[in-house]
Homo-oligomer: A and B are copies of this chain.
Amino acid sequence: MNGVKRPLTMKDIAKMAGVSTATVSRILNHNGRYSKETESRVKKLIEENNYVIDQTAKGLRKKYLETVGIIVPDITNPHFAKLVLNIQTSLFQRGYSSIIGNTNENLSLEEEHVHSLKAQHVCGFIMISTKRYHQSLRRFPTVYLDRPARGGEKEDITIESDNYKGGYLAGKQLGIASCKRLAIIRTNSNDCNQDSRKEGFLKALSEAGIPEEKVDVLDIGDALIQSAYSRIREEMRNGFLYDGLFCTTDTLATGVYTALREGNIKVPEEVKIVGFDDCDLAFTTGPGLTSVHQDVGKMAELAVDALVRRLTGEPLSSTHFYLPVYLSVRASTD
């Protein structure tokens, strides 16, 4: 399109793609009645030519896409950031816009977001909730992700990873590695999936002949890298006791790693570590972190599918989904 000085119009895009302007409009509005092939051709042209939708051509499009509210406890946690990115992408493919309310695990802020987004007419919620259930969202299209709706009703949709199994796999791994002095590093900012992970872990250890009393539990106030780092630095002042650690999130594991590295304690030679989430941090940390893999892509897809079914009145096969997990084994337990 060299030589074209005026901004591109929908007509230009239609001409380039060899389709009608109405087809381009339908594609922009996710409005059906076009082939996948046409859609991808048109979208490619839009992308390549930096075509900007003409805001004044209102007659040609809906006022705006229907919008879903996403509630998330902490976007600085790479696991949640990736999960939210997947949700947004999947929603957009299904023809929904989305906006994010970040709660910082703060109950009042979560309330405020729910209230404010509802007042702004979002059509539904995908909710990683600190509060765990919102009475005000009773019968409002809502999917509870990662943390089941507590005190909710039968028809509330929950999607979560098999956290118990994840903890169990972590315990097996440290048991096989013959660790003797073990600790769980966990956050006490939410009770549900943290408890299941701990229970699964203890079950595997008891099978390996290690009783619960032999396993210390270090509760960190939140799941921040910095908080785990500070706590382990503190522990190290009296000499570091452990040779096996199960960190219930990769962020906690990363804080632990950083503190051990500064104290010249070698992973995995002196301390073996298993994380949970298998997010970018597990891959980039050195040496690589063995971590329980959660399938955030599948999680997002399921959540969006369930929400869209609620919105369109299509039936759901179930209201409670458990996603399988597996262990990504890397150098930290080798």
Contacts and interface: CB of A to CB of B under 8 A. Distances in A.
Interface of A: 28, 43, 46-47, 50-53, 55, 63-65, 67, 69, 74-76, 78, 81-82, 84-85, 88-89, 92, 97, 99-102, 104, 106-109, 111-113, 115-117, 119-121, 131, 135-136, 225, 254-255, 257-258, 261, 280-281, 283-286
A127 B147 CA distance: 31
A112 B66 CA distance: 11
A91 B264 CA distance: 41
Given A55-B115, A64-B119, A67-B116, A81 B92 contact: no
Q: Which of A99, A104, A121 has the most CB of B within 10 A?
A: A99
Q: Which of A85, A284, A286 has the most CB of B within 10 A?
A: A284
A63 B117 CA distance: 11
Contacts of A74: 85
A107 B257 contact: no
Contacts of A108: 28, 43, 46-47, 51, 53
A80 to B, nearest CB: 9
B131 A52 contact: yes
A255 B285 CA distance: 10
A106 B82 CA distance: 17
Contact of A285 (B43, B88, B136, B284): B284
12 contacts: A43-B108, A47-B108, A50-B107, A53-B108, A65-B112, A65-B116, A76-B85, A81-B81, A120-B120, A258-B286, A261-B286, A285-B286
Contact of A284 (B55, B99, B254): B254
Contact of A99 (B75, B117, B283, B286): B117
Contacts of A28: 108
A76 B76 contact: no
Contact of A115 (B51, B53, B84, B99): B53
A97 B75 contact: no
A303 B50 CA distance: 27
A75 B107 CA distance: 22
Which A-B residue pairs are the 4 nearest by beta carbons? A100-B100, A99-B99, A64-B116, A76-B81
Contacts of A107: 47, 50, 52
Contact of A89 (B69, B81, B104): B104
B85 A75 contact: yes
A270 to B, nearest CB: 15
Contacts of A51: 108
